[in-house]
């Protein structure tokens, strides 16, 4: 098993043919100049220690050294190494209301974007805690299973919109029941569910469902977005406003935040309700609550990875280059006696 980290450096091997061509041109120029100066027999007597093989050998060592240094830049990774990762934290699931009423612009830029800001900034405050995201309107859907990948959570969060649910409404009961399936670690003692909504159209039995999930050890907190004065629900086409949602009588629908509903859900589950119109308020409060919670070790895993091997190529490359530096063009005396390369003939 091997992996090449920076294969782009293979292009440096194009230098080697250029070096070889340059060497041959220099060799040809030397031979041609020598012939003009004297014949071969006379040159042999004038420079008896001159070697015809050593320059070629030096070139070979230089090319080998250069090649191994290029390979070190490519950084071949071979073998595997095991790492043990231990994480401590809590499980935090966000239930985001994506009903049409969340598009109201009574707070800037609109309720849904404000809710996303709260979730995103809260995730930024978390350490090694696991997060999951549920979206709901007329139905509840898992947007992201519980994970330690906070970057992925924020990426999925940005794509949340009312078009992702098949029916409108506010099925908070379904979101609460779906949240139960997210907590997959039975040993985790601190589980948090954070509901971000405008509180509109929640069912009467929601408080009982919230109390049931609290009895299973889940701490439920609610965050309200939107003004109590309310605002119309815009209808847009390709980002351009074309009108506002109207009721059966043709009147413009005014949607209002209902904090009493969200407060009731929080009270039924021994949680807390936060006003989300100022992003920093719920973010700081939730950060403090989660920060003070007892952390549990929820993940211990081993994974394999490739080991860097560039240092071996650097060592071999330097060896050849240093050897090349100490290798002279003249014949070696003891090799001259052996005449290993048949230079005398």
Of 12-16, 159-163, 186-190, the least confident = 186-190
Domain co-membership, 325 together with 283: no
Of 41-55, 60-74, 245-259, 305-319, the least confident = 41-55
The sign of the CA dihedral 148, 92, 209, 96 is negative
State the pLDDT confidence band at 41, using cuts at 50, 70 and 90. low
Backbone angles phi, psi at 30, to 5 degrees: -65, -45
According to the model, what pLDDT value does residue 344 have? 52
Domain co-membership, 149 together with 293: yes
- Contact between 69 and 169 under an 8 Å Cβ cutoff? The reply is no
* Residue 236 domain flag: no
* Residue 329 domain flag: yes
Q: pTM of the predicted model, to two decimals? A: 0.62
* Residue 144 domain flag: yes
Domain co-membership, 107 together with 185: yes
**For residue 220, is it left (φ>0), alpha (ψ between -120 and 50) or beta?**
beta
Please compute the mean of the pLDDT values over residues 105-132 and round it to a whole number: 92
Domain co-membership, 60 together with 198: no
Distance (Å, rounded) from C-alpha 132 to C-alpha 183? 9
**Residue pLDDT, tens place only, 63-115:** 999 999 998 898 888 766 666 667 778 889 999 999 988 999 999 899 999 99
| CB-based contacts of 11, cutoff 8 Å, min separation 6 | none
* Residue 345 domain flag: no
Please compute the mean of the pLDDT values over residues 160-180 and round it to a whole number: 83
Domain co-membership, 313 together with 223: no
Domain co-membership, 283 together with 163: yes
Domain co-membership, 14 together with 65: yes
**Residue pLDDT, tens place only, 204-238:** 678 888 888 888 888 999 999 999 899 998 988 88
* Residue 81 domain flag: no
Cis ω before 109 (30° cut-off from 0): yes
Domain co-membership, 182 together with 276: yes
The sign of the CA dihedral 207, 208, 213, 216 is positive
Q: Assign 110 to helix, strand or coil.
A: coil
Output the DSSP codes for 224-249. Answer: E-S-SS-EE-EEEETTEEEEE-B-TT
State the pLDDT confidence band at 177, using cuts at 50, 70 and 90. confident
Domain of 9, in residue numbers:
2-75+309-338
Q: Assign 251 to helix, strand or coil.
A: coil
According to the model, what pLDDT value does residue 334 have? 45
Task: Determine what percent of the chain is predicted with pLDDT higher than 90.
Answer: 31
According to the model, what pLDDT value does residue 155 have? 93
Name the domain count of the chain. 2
Domain co-membership, 112 together with 164: yes
Position 143 pLDDT exceeds 70? yes
Q: Where is pLDDT greater, at 324 or 155?
A: 155
Domain co-membership, 205 together with 262: yes
**Residue pLDDT, tens place only, 255-309:** 889 888 889 889 888 899 999 999 999 999 999 999 888 777 766 555 566 777 8
According to the model, what pLDDT value does residue 328 have? 65
Domain co-membership, 109 together with 167: yes
* Residue 188 domain flag: yes
Domain co-membership, 33 together with 145: no
CATH code (residue 130): 3.40.50.410
* Residue 17 domain flag: yes
Average pLDDT of the chain is 83
Of 133-147, 236-250, 260-274, the least confident = 236-250
* Residue 323 domain flag: yes
């Amino acid at each position: 098993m091997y992996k090449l980290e920076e294969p782009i450096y293979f292009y440096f091997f194009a230098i080697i043919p250029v070096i070889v061509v340059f060497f041959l041109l220099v060799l040809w120029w030397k031979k041609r100049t020598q012939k003009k100066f004297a014949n071969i027999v006379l040159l042999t007597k004038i420079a008896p220690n001159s070697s015809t093989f050593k320059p070629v050998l030096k070139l070979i060592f230089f090319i080998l050294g250069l090649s191994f240094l290029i390979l070190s830049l490519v950084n071949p990774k071979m073998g595997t190494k095991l790492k043990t990762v231990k994480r401590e934290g809590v499980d935090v699931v966000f239930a985001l209301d994506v009903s049409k009423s969340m598009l109201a612009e009574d707070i800037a830029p609109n309720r849904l974007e404000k809710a996303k800001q709260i979730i995103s900034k809260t995730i930024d405050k978390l350490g090694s805690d696991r997060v999951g995201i549920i979206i709901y309107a007329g139905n509840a859907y898992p947007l992201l299973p519980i994970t330690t990948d906070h970057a992925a959570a924020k990426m999925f969060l940005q794509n949340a919109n009312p078009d992702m649910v098949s029916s409108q409404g506010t099925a908070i009961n379904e979101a609460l029941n779906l949240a139960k399936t997210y907590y997959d670690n039975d040993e985790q003692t601190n589980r948090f569910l954070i509901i971000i909504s405008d509180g509109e159209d929640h069912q009467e039995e929601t408080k009982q469902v919230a109390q049931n999930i609290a009895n299973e050890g889940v701490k439920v907190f609610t965050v309200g977005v939107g003004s109590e004065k309310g605002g119309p629900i815009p209808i847009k086409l390709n980002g351009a406003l074309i009108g506002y949602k109207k009721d059966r009588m043709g009147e413009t629908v005014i949607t209002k935040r209902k904090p009493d509903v969200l407060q009731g859900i929080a009270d039924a589950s021994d949680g807390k309700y936060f006003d989300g119109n100022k992003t920093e308020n719920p973010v700081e409060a939730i950060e403090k609550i989660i920060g003070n919670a007892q952390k549990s070790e929820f993940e211990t895993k081993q994974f394999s990875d490739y080991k860097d091997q560039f240092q071996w190529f650097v060592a071999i490359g330097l060896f050849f280059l240093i050897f090349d530096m100490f290798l002279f063009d003249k014949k070696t005396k003891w090799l001259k006696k052996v005449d290993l390369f048949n230079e005398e003939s």
